[in-house]
């Protein structure tokens, strides 16, 4: 589930509830979530360190840990079902996706903080990961990741430049993290719907107006979702995101929504608004 907006909300969550606190203990309930370090290695990399900063690129979240002059980063990827929660003696805050009634489920890693509170990483399906990164700059330089979709430096000109040499269907291109980082299945569908572009159209067949619309909607859809704190119910009624189920009807044309596998993912679109 977590695409760029959700991961941005997770980042803000860390800033609000975790940043500035020292990690006193770590519990790894399922070592498979760790990519690289052993549970002991993770303990060594975190215990005694203070959470001092955060970064995000696409769907990847980086959390900086500092102890004196020593510093490194934790990398979180949330797969399809990952999220954070935080709790102390008085309250529990479940972030973005967790069902408060089931908040104790699927805790893969728990960090105990120096103020007595606890920060937990949940990941039901184990597609997510947690890694330790020594040098964030070189990691990002070597990672096969495109520019972050919401990075202000990724402007219209850069967007058009990036897409102009590509040939495939537009939807898989939008979801390709090495082209643009952060767009997943749901928000790709939404921006295509808002621009009335069929998801199977070729990038090379799109008009300049189509591409400019996609740029605008990429920013709008993602930013609106961040502003909604990733609560999809808060998004405009005119969004197709509310109609991702069989028998749903297009919010603009009232046409039954089509469901088709495109680029390997379940795709929702309006066959009347989005013509091939």
Q: Which of 98, 172, 199, 251 binds DNA (CB under 7 A)?
A: 172
Q: Does 124 bind DNA (CB under 7 A)?
A: yes
- Give the Cα separation of 24 and 97 in Å (integer): 26
Interface of this chain with DNA, residues 176 to 215, rule: CB under 7 A = 177, 184-186, 202
Measured from the CB atom, the residue of 76 and 86 that comes closer to DNA is 76
3-state secondary structure of 249: strand
Alpha helices in 18-131 (DSSP H): 39-46
CA angle (90, 94, 99) in 5-degree steps: 115
Of 84, 86, 91, give the one whose Cα is nearest residue 106: 84
User: Hey, which residues between 6 and 65 contact DNA (CB under 7 A)?
Assistant: 30, 32, 58-59
Question: In a 10 Å sphere around its CB, with 0-12 CB exposed, 13-18 middle and 19+ buried, how is residue 196 labelled?
Answer: middle
Please tell me whether residue 125 binds DNA under the rule CB under 7 A. yes
Which CB, 52 or 258, lies closer to DNA?
258
d(CA 40, CA 253): 56
Residue 168 touching DNA (CB under 7 A): yes
Asked if 261 touches DNA (CB under 7 A), the answer is: yes
Minimum Å gap between C-beta 17 and DNA is 23
Kindly indicate which of the ranges 68-76, 98-106, 114-122, 152-160 contains the residues binding DNA, using the contact rule CB under 7 A.
98-106
Indicate which single residue of 212, 216, 242, 265 sits in contact with DNA (rule: CB under 7 A).
265
CB of 80 to DNA, least distance (A): 4
Bridge partners (DSSP) of residue 25 are 112
Name, in order, each residue with C-beta under 8 angstroms of 87's C-beta and a sequence gap of 6 or more: 93, 103, 117, 118, 120
Report, in Å, the least distance between residue 70 CB and DNA: 28
Residues in the chain: 276
By CB under 7 A, residue 80 contacts DNA: yes
Q: Which of 39, 79, 256, 271 contacts DNA by CB under 7 A?
A: 79
């Amino acid at each position: 589930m977590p695409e760029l907006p959700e991961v941005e909300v997770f980042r803000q969550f860390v800033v609000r509830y975790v940043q500035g606190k020292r990690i006193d203990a770590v519990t790894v309930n399922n070592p498979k979530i760790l990519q690289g370090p052993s549970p002991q290695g993770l303990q060594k990399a975190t215990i005694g360190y203070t959470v001092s900063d955060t970064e995000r690129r696409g769907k990847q979240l980086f959390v900086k840990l500092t102890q004196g002059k020593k510093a490194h980063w934790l990398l979180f990827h949330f797969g399809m079902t990952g999220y954070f929660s935080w709790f102390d003696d008085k309250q529990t805050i479940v972030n973005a996706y967790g069902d408060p009634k089931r908040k104790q489920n699927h805790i893969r890693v728990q960090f105990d903080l120096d103020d007595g509170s606890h920060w937990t990483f949940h990941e039901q399906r184990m597609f997510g990961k947690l890694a330790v990164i020594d040098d964030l700059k070189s990691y990002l330089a070597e990672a096969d990741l495109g520019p972050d979709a919401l990075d202000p430096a990724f402007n219209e000109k850069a967007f058009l430049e990036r897409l102009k040499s590509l040939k495939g269907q537009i939807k898989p291109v939008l979801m390709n993290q090495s082209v643009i980082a952060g767009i997943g299945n749901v928000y790709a569908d939404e921006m295509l719907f808002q621009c009335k572009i069929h998801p199977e159209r070729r990038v090379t067949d799109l008009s300049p107006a189509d591409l400019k619309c996609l740029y605008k909607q990429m920013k709008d859809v993602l930013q609106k979702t961040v502003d909604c704190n990733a609560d999809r119910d808060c998004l405009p009624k005119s969004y197709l995101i509310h109609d991702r189920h069989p028998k749903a009807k297009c919010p603009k044309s009232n046409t039954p929504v089509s469901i088709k596998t495109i680029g390997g993912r379940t795709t929702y679109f309006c066959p009347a608004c989005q013509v091939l």
